[in-house]
Structure 1
Amino acid sequence: MHIYIHIPFCSSKCPYCAFGSSTDSFNLVERYFEALLFEIKNSTLNKISTIFIGGGTPSVISAKFYEKIFDEFRDFLDIKTEITTEANPNSATLKWLKDMKNLGVNRVSFGTQSFNDEKLKFLGRNHSSIHTKKAVLNAKKVGFKNINVDIIYDTKFDDKKMIEFELLNLAKLDLTHISAYSLTLEENTPFYNKSSFKKDSVNLAKFLFLGLENLGFKQYEISNFGQICKHNLAYWQGKNYLGFGAYAVGFKDDKRFYSPKDIKSYIKNPTFKNIENLTKSDLKFEKIFLGMRSKIGVEAKILNELELKRAKILVEEKKLSYKNERFYNQDYLLSDEIVLFLVEI
Structure 2
Amino acid sequence: MKLSALSQALLGFTASVHASTIQYSTVTGYFLQDEASTDPSTFDYTAVNFGLINRTYPADKELKHHQSLTQWERFYHQVQKLNDDSPCNVEYKVLFLGRHGNGWHNSAETYYGTPAWNCYWAELNGNSTVTWFDAALTPAGEDQALVAHNFWQRLINEQHIHTPDNYIISPLIRTLQTANLTFNGLDLPHGAAPFAPVIKELFREGISIHTCDHRHNKTYIHSLFPSWRIEPGFTEQDELWNGVTAETTAAQKARSTRALDEVFFTEEYSKKNSYVSVTSHSGEIASILSVLGHRRFSLNTGAVIPVLVRAEHVKGENTATSSLPWTASAHCTSPPVTSVSACVCASSASPVTTPLVATGI
TM-score normalised per structure 1: 0.33
Q: Which has the higher helix share?
A: 1
Greater relative contact order (CA < 8 Å, ≥ 6 in sequence): 2
Higher strand share: 1
- The two structures have a TM-score, normalised by structure 2, of 0.32
